[in-house]
Amino acid sequence: MVERSSTWEEAYRSVKSLWELEPDHALREYATLVPDGTVLDLGVGDGRNALFFAEMGYEVEGVDISQTAVERCVERAKKANLKVKAEVRDLKEVDIPQGKYSLIIAAWVLNFFKKTEAEEIIKRIRNGLKKDGFVYIGVFSINDPSYERATKSLEVVEECTFFSHYFTKEEVLSLFAGLKVIYCAEGMELNLGHGDPHYHGFIEYMGQMRISD
C-alpha cells in the first residue's frame, strides 16, 4: 500500500482547516452517557472531536500521523483554554493501554488501512476500553462512490481493500460483537465540509462494553 503519512501532512499544510470544526453528531448526541475519565481520539486531525470532550471535562489524548494536524489540535485547545495531549504516531504502532479509556474515537480514519490492519487496530481499541467504556467509529462504506470507481481501476489488495478499505455494516457490527449497540447508522451524505461538494457512503457505530464482559 502507498505510504500515506506525507500525503496527510501535505493535505494539512495546503489549507488552514481541512475539516468542519463541529464534532460528529452521534458523539454530541450520546456524550452524556460516557463515564468520567479519559478519551482517546485515534487520527485526531485538528481536534474537532477531541476539543468537544475536553470542553466537557474529560482528560483527552489524541494521536495522528500528521505533525501539522497535531500542532493545530494542540494550538486550538490552548486558544480555548483546554488541554489535549496529542502526539504524532502511526496507528499501526500505537499501543493502547488495557482498560484505560472511557471512550475511544476512530472517526473517518480506519479506512486508510488494509482490512487486516484495521481489524488489528480494532482489537486494540476493544482491549483499551474500561468495563463500561464506549467506542465511536465513523467509516466509509462500500456504498461510497469511490468504492465503485476503485473496483474498476485499482488493484485489490485484500477483501474490499484497494487504496483504502471499505466497510460493510455487518463487518463493523461483527468486529464489535459483544458490545451493546448504542447507535449504528449507514447511509449516503452530501459533504460540503472540504473540497468540492461530494457524496460519501458512511457507517457510524457507537457501542459500549458491557460491565459483565
Ligand X SMILES: C[S@@+](CC[C@H](N)C(=O)[O-])C[C@H]1O[C@@H](n2cnc3c(N)ncnc32)[C@H](O)[C@@H]1O
Closest distance of CB 89 from ligand X, Å: 6
Q: Which residues contact 56 (CB under 8 A, 6 or more apart)?
A: 31
Q: Does residue 104 interact with ligand X by CB under 6 A?
A: no
Using the structure block, give the residue that is written with the C-alpha cell 468504492: 147
Q: Does residue 202 interact with ligand X by CB under 6 A?
A: no
Closest distance of CB 85 from ligand X, Å: 15
Q: Which residues contact 192 (CB under 8 A, 6 or more apart)?
A: none
Rounded to the nearest 5°, which phi and psi values hold at 177? -55, 140
Candidates 108, 136, 147, 205: give the one binding ligand X (CB under 6 A): 108
What does the longest C-alpha to C-alpha distance in the chain come to?
A: 48
Question: CA-CA distances (angstroms) from residue 6 to 68, 106, 194?
Answer: 11, 20, 19
Q: Which is nearer to ligand X, 45 or 128 (CB)?
A: 45
Q: Does residue 45 interact with ligand X by CB under 6 A?
A: yes
Q: How far is CA 101 from the centre of its chain?
A: 15
DSSP E strand stretches across the chain: 38-42, 59-64, 84-88, 101-107, 129-140, 180-191, 198-208
Closest distance of CB 113 from ligand X, Å: 7
Interface segment toward ligand X; rule CB under 6 A; list 30-38, 61-69, 159-167, 195-203: 61-69
Q: Which is nearer to ligand X, 171 or 204 (CB)?
A: 204
Interface segment toward ligand X; rule CB under 6 A; list 77-85, 103-111, 119-127, 167-175: 103-111
- Of the CA atoms within 13 Å of residue 202, those in its CB half-sphere come to 18
Closest distance of CB 21 from ligand X, Å: 9
Interface segment toward ligand X; rule CB under 6 A; list 29-37, 62-70, 152-160, 184-192: 62-70
Q: According to CB under 6 A, which residues from 72 to 91 bind ligand X?
A: 90-91
Catalog residues that contact ligand X under the rule CB under 6 A.
4, 8, 19, 43, 45, 48, 63-66, 69, 90-92, 107-109, 112
